[in-house]
Amino acid sequence: MRESQFQEPNRFFLNMGPQHPSTHGVLLVVLEMDGEYVLDPQPVLGFIHRMHEKMGESRPCQGFMPNTARMDYVCALPYNHGYVSLIERKAGIEVPKRAEYIRVITSELNRVASHLLWLGAYLLDLGAFTPILYGFDDREHILDILEDVTGSRLTYCYYRFGGVYRDIDDKFVEATRAFIKRLRKRYDIYEKLVTKNIIFIKRAENIGIISPDMAIRYGITGPNLRGSGIAYDIRKNEPYSVYPEFDFEVPVGERGDCLDRYMVRVREMEQSLRIVEQALDTLPDGPVRSKVPKKIKLAPGDCNFAVEAARGELSYYLVGDGTSVPYRLKIRVPSYSNLSCLPELGEGILLPDLVSIMGSLDLVIPEIDR
Amino acid sequence: MEIISTLPPELIRMVFAVIIIISFIFLNAIMMGYLERKIAGHVQRRPGPMEVGSHGILQLVVDGVKLVGKELLVPVNVDRTLFRLGPILSFTPVILPLLVIPFSEKLQARDLNLGLLFIVSMTSINVMAILVAGWGSNNKYSMFGAMRAVAQSIAYEIPILLSMLAVVLMANTFSLKEIVGAQQKIWFILLQPLAFIIYIISGVAETNRAPFDLPEAESELTAGFHTEYSGMGFSLFFLGEYTNMFTVASVATVLFLGGWHGPTLPYGEYLGIVWFFLKVYFLLFFMIMIRWTYPRVRFDQLLNFAWKYLVPFSLVNILITAVVIKL
Amino acid sequence: MKRYFSDLFVGGKSLVDGLVVTLKALCQPMVTVQYPREEIDITPNFRGHIDLVLDPEKNTFRCIACGMCERSCPSECIQIKGKKVEGKKKKTLSLFTLDFTKCSLCGTCVEICPTQALEFSNEYNLAAFSREAFHYDILKRLEERII
Amino acid sequence: MMGTYEDFKTNVMNLGGDVTETDFHQRGYHLEVVLTVDTVRKFAQTAYDHGFYLVFVTGIHVLPETVEGVKTSGLEMVYQFATFDRLCRVKARVSVPEDMTVPSICHIYQGANWHERETRDFYGIRFSDHPNLEPLLLCEEDKDFHPLLKEEKKLKSFEEVSWPAQRPDMVDIQTETSSDL
């Protein structure tokens, strides 16, 4: 693939992936190594490239809805959210308040589910087998709650232009409140098993430091950025939906190492729960879907909509041409930019640290490959 | 029959002992495999194997049959001799330490006066097997695993020896039987708690178990030194690992937990084995629990821990022991 | 030097704490079920593949073969045909197939249907050895239920 | 050097960029900058100096036109930038000349490396001085296959896919967002 750089006899290439346990999917990282030291890790993408952007340009905008859930399947609802909001912005569709509340509640629950899965997967990368099962145990409750209202467990297609597919009921509210209570009780387990564990701390502390300047140069967003001490959250900085109505904090780290990224995500779960609680308390009555024409015309001109997905900034950029089929649909996925810093981040470190860094970046490969 | 009677009785005894021990090794691996999967399951709030037999008790037997029935794949461009030698080398030496372990007062294949040294030398052959397998596989991941195993083994042999040495100083002998005998009144774990802790930590590292399972570090090296092995080749490594665990736990029992000593049983000189096995399997349970609790340490941290904590502490321990004994 | 000992003691304690968590979990009941032997009830809101609604009054489908679902489907997995039956003014449904290998369960067809003739089935135990097994004949499935 | 919003605007204008303020609630970005191939890098440097991060780089395929006797390639590059410390999204647009080459900005924004490789995959736009312009998402065999280039009959002219020319009163309905930056 690349020119041989073997000036020194000790150097060699190692293919990590596409079927490696810690690349979380079909990602190949070609490592140039000297002993156990990684000199130059180069990710090779595109193993599950599906050209979602072309699909977006070849069918009416309603038809693209199911695709949005199939990029980041771990946290699909914010992807739904970004897309419906984009079309609503473009076509000037009003959304009932209740629908926006429901969107926020379900998106935040999905974010917690995503972080729980990440927590387990990261620990699995570090060699601990048990936390992922505990994470799954909690996550399963969220999936049950979401399944009851959305009808699917993972690749949701729940939001609709101008509202949501189905209204939530008392059962949903009750189950969600019960879940919030349950997860708060479980923090203690995670803290004792993982957060305070000396082996874990030693594996994550001072590893893979992302400086704020580096974040700017690579466009790193989401918890990976907030770990570096920059409180940048689209929900706060570029408020969309009804997020401005809720009181929540944006947790930040200090050094920008793997441990900070871990702590940011763990604290973000609590903030998401807070948002869900407030939204449930102040849930307005009313319709969940406004009247939307069967065929939505996208006026000429471009339009952008950014949302905070679990992994960072997700931007949809659409160019309309007056028909109902988008002329151009660009999807800016967070993991793509987050991963692109790996060659710089992984220079001259040990192989186990590279695994730790890749785990802490929270990569979802189908999202990167699109 | 006449030929047998002409043979020295000691030889017949040894042959019997070896047969019993080999069958025990297989039984132990099956039990340990089952226990490990069951405990892992319950720790993770799931049932573990449930399908084959009541509560999946025959799961490992079936797995064994499957492994035996599998094709032995030899990848191209490997060093065939070394590749085949690896598993054998990993399996053979693990039988020998069990020959000198006193399971009870009268159940011991052979009491060597340098029994402890014999065990130490035999268990360290295991790392040779990993090196041979890793090198012979012609796979970079395997090679990493092999190199790690060697460094890890060198680092952890020293604290193991030093912690053993403290006990040897107390008992004034290398013979395992006599060491157990010296614990008639008080177990050495009470007199040498530090040595016990050091021994257990190093023992886990020595058997390449999590959190020190660096040679096979799944998330880093896919499967480390046994990446390329299939079928019986893989299962011999598997057998070797569990037997090694058993050896480490038995030596810990002999050195620190008073071997066969326990509340008096009828036929105590034979049934002491009950106490012995209870203690061994308690330690093994502990080792399994550790595996399913902690993340894996990094390679340099592992070595740092050995050289910065275990070696100095065990040296201090020996020094104190020696001074106290002299006084 | 201070860090040397604090690592030892704080670290040691954290390891013991961790072990307590797993030991406690060891004694707690399981949270999973043995799947093929036990099954968890699935929510009635689950969205499986589509099915035709059996109208209890007419004891047949409500579909008027207008083809809205076929046209709205983003994956083009629905195929519909109607034919003229003597004595009736409108077309009657004669073929309704779903290629479930392509379906992404978005629910557009169910929502767009002017007569609410489609619903989601609750089936999730779907596995087969061939692709053709997922080419469902939805009309036939309904006819089986009519009896 | 982190300047104010006004500084940024002036600096970009000094580069020769054509800056227009837009309605954020309608378009989702605040500033639209029209650049030429010569000013792309300078603009990127200015954006970097003002603390902007790169959101994405992509292209749009429109009908080629002949402007002042020079035929364009029909491809438009779109860059989007945003910043961490205030709400400001900038869209920059460059018309790709007929030789299909645009200067790479990945020496300023390393993150642009992959975005530019992706754009090469999808549109065939080449980036001068790019360190490694190899296929990223598509495979090596598809080096000359560019999936996002539209068929001739589906192509629309640039005017057909852009907002109607800005009315003079547009600036007055500016939202509070851009004024208090």
| Residue A4 in this model has a pLDDT that exceeds 70 | no
To the question of pTM greater than 0.90 for the whole model, the response is: no
Q: Which chains touch A (3 or more CB pairs under 8 A)?
A: B, C, D
Residue D84 has its nearest CB partner, among A232, A328, A332, at A232
Mean pLDDT of A225-250: 87
Cβ contacts below 8 Å, chain A against chain D, sum to 132
Nearest residue to A145 via CA among A70, A77, A95 = A77
- Provide the angle, in degrees to the nearest 10, between the axes of the packed helices B115-123 and B231-255: 150
| Segments forming the whole domain that contains residue B196 | 73-326
Q: What percent of chain C has pLDDT over 90?
A: 0
Q: Over the stretch B50-107, which tens digit does the pLDDT of each residue have?
A: 888 788 888 888 888 888 888 888 888 888 888 888 888 887 788 888 888 888 777 7
Q: Over the stretch A194-217, which tens digit does the pLDDT of each residue have?
A: 888 888 888 888 888 888 888 888
- Sequence-distant (6+) residues with CB within 8 A of B126 are B90, B93, B94, B153, B240, B244
Reported as a pLDDT band with limits 50, 70 and 90, residue D166 is low
Reported as a pLDDT band with limits 50, 70 and 90, residue C110 is confident
The per-residue pLDDT for D163 is 78
CB-CB under 8 Å, C22 with B289: yes
Residue with tokens 């002042």: D68
Beta bridge partners of C81: C95
Residue with tokens 């041409």: A321
Q: Which of C1, C3, C16, C30 to mutate to test the interface with B (most CBs of B within 10 A)?
A: C30
Mean pLDDT of D43-72: 83
Quote the mean pLDDT of chain B: 84
Chain C residues touching B290 at Cβ < 8 A: 19
- Cα gap C12→C18, rounded to integer Å: 10
| Residue D176 in this model has a pLDDT that exceeds 50 | no
> Quick check: A304 and A293 in contact, CB under 8 A?
no
ipTM of the complex: 0.84
The tokens describing B280, both together, are 């061994």
Residues of C with CB under 8 A from a CB of A: 7, 10-12, 14-15, 17-18, 20-22, 25, 31, 43, 45-47, 72-75, 104-108, 111-112, 120
- In chain A, the residue whose alpha carbon lies closest to the alpha carbon of C112 is A294
SS3 assignment, position B31: helix
CB-CB under 8 Å, C4 with B293: no
C-alpha angle A287/A237/A259, rounded to 5°?
Answer: 110
Mean pLDDT of D25-53: 84
CB-CB under 8 Å, C112 with A151: no
- In chain D, the residue whose alpha carbon lies closest to the alpha carbon of A213 is D51
**Dihedral, CA atoms, D145, D147, D152, D158, nearest 10 degrees?**
-120
Q: Give the type of residue at B141.
A: Y
Domain limits of chain A? 53-369
Chain C residues touching B308 at Cβ < 8 A: 4
> For residue B211, is the peptide bond before it cis, meaning its omega torsion is within 30 degrees of 0?
yes
Q: Which chains touch C (3 or more CB pairs under 8 A)?
A: A, B
> For residue A251, is the peptide bond before it cis, meaning its omega torsion is within 30 degrees of 0?
no
Residue D55 has its nearest CB partner, among A2, A51, A219, at A219
- In chain B, the residue whose alpha carbon lies closest to the alpha carbon of A197 is B294
Q: Where are the alpha helices (DSSP H) in A92-129?
A: 97-125
The per-residue pLDDT for B54 is 83
The tokens describing B311, both together, are 């070696």
The tokens describing C140, both together, are 């036939």
> Quick check: C98 and C78 in contact, CB under 8 A?
yes
CB-CB under 8 Å, C106 with A151: no
Query: Could you give the count of Cα atoms lying within 13 Å of C15 in the half-sphere of its Cβ?
Result: 19
**Dihedral, CA atoms, B286, B288, B294, B299, nearest 10 degrees?**
110
Residue B293 has its nearest CB partner, among C18, C28, C31, at C18
Q: Let me know if residue B112 belongs to a domain.
A: yes
Q: Let me know if residue B292 belongs to a domain.
A: yes
The per-residue pLDDT for D1 is 45
Give backbone dihedrals phi and psi of A56, rounded to 5 degrees, phi first: -65, -30
Contact: chain D with chain B (3+ CB pairs below 8 Å): no
The per-residue pLDDT for D179 is 39
Mean pLDDT of D40-63: 86
| Residue D65 in this model has a pLDDT that exceeds 80 | no
Mean pLDDT of B196-212: 86
Residue A350 has its nearest CB partner, among B43, B211, B299, at B299
Mean pLDDT of C54-78: 81
Helix (H) or strand (E) holding C120: strand C118-120
| Residue C114 in this model has a pLDDT that exceeds 70 | yes
Residue A123 has its nearest CB partner, among B43, B295, B301, at B295
The per-residue pLDDT for C147 is 65
Residue A198 has its nearest CB partner, among C11, C22, C104, at C11
| Residue D173 in this model has a pLDDT that exceeds 80 | no
Weakest-pLDDT range from B212-221, B266-275, D103-112, D165-174: D165-174
Reported as a pLDDT band with limits 50, 70 and 90, residue D181 is very low
Neighbours of A100 (CB within 10 A): 22
List D residues 115-154 in contact with A (Cβ-Cβ < 8 A): 122, 132, 134-139, 147-148, 150
Reported as a pLDDT band with limits 50, 70 and 90, residue D177 is very low
Please state the domain count of chain B. Answer: 1
CB-CB under 8 Å, B47 with C21: no
Name the burial class of residue D67, with classes exposed (0-12), middle (13-18) and buried (19+) by CB atoms within 10 angstroms of its CB.
exposed
Cβ contacts below 8 Å, chain A against chain B, sum to 75
For A53-369, CATH number? 1.10.645.10
CATH 3.40.50.300 fits D5-140, yes or no: no
Domain limits of chain C? 1-31, 50-146
Mean pLDDT of B218-246: 82
- Cα gap C142→C60, rounded to integer Å: 8
C-alpha angle A279/A284/A290, rounded to 5°?
Answer: 110
Contact: chain D with chain C (3+ CB pairs below 8 Å): no
Q: What percent of chain A has pLDDT over 90?
A: 5
- Cα gap B169→B164, rounded to integer Å: 9
The tokens describing C133, both together, are 């097994």
Q: Let me know if residue B47 belongs to a domain.
A: no
CA distance A307 to chain D (A): 11
The per-residue pLDDT for A9 is 66
CB-CB under 8 Å, B45 with A137: yes
- In chain D, the residue whose alpha carbon lies closest to the alpha carbon of A3 is D132
Chain A residues touching D138 at Cβ < 8 A: 46, 49
Per-residue exposure over B8-47, b if at least 16 CB sit within 10 Å of its own CB, e if not = eeeeeeeeebeeebeebbeebbbbbbbbbbbbbbbbbbbe
The per-residue pLDDT for D170 is 44
Q: Let me know if residue B247 belongs to a domain.
A: yes
Mean pLDDT of B109-137: 82
Residue C34 has its nearest CB partner, among B47, B289, B290, at B47
Q: Which CATH architecture has domain C50-146?
A: 2-Layer Sandwich (3.30)
Q: Are strands A163-164 and A159-160 parallel, antiparallel or unpaired?
A: antiparallel
Q: Over the stretch A299-313, which tens digit does the pLDDT of each residue have?
A: 888 888 989 888 888
CA distance D162 to chain A (A): 4
Q: Over the stretch A175-200, which tens digit does the pLDDT of each residue have?
A: 999 999 999 988 888 888 888 888 88
Mean pLDDT of A306-331: 88
CB-CB under 8 Å, B299 with A352: yes
Residue with tokens 């009309």: C139
CB-CB under 8 Å, B44 with A200: no
Chain B residues touching A352 at Cβ < 8 A: 217, 220, 296, 298-299
The per-residue pLDDT for B148 is 85
Chain D residues touching A335 at Cβ < 8 A: none
Q: Which of A84, A159, A193, A202 to mutate to test the interface with C (most CBs of C within 10 A)?
A: A193
Q: Give the type of residue at D127.
A: F
Mean pLDDT of A104-120: 91
| Residue D100 in this model has a pLDDT that exceeds 80 | yes
CA distance A133 to chain B (A): 6
- Cα gap A42→A28, rounded to integer Å: 8
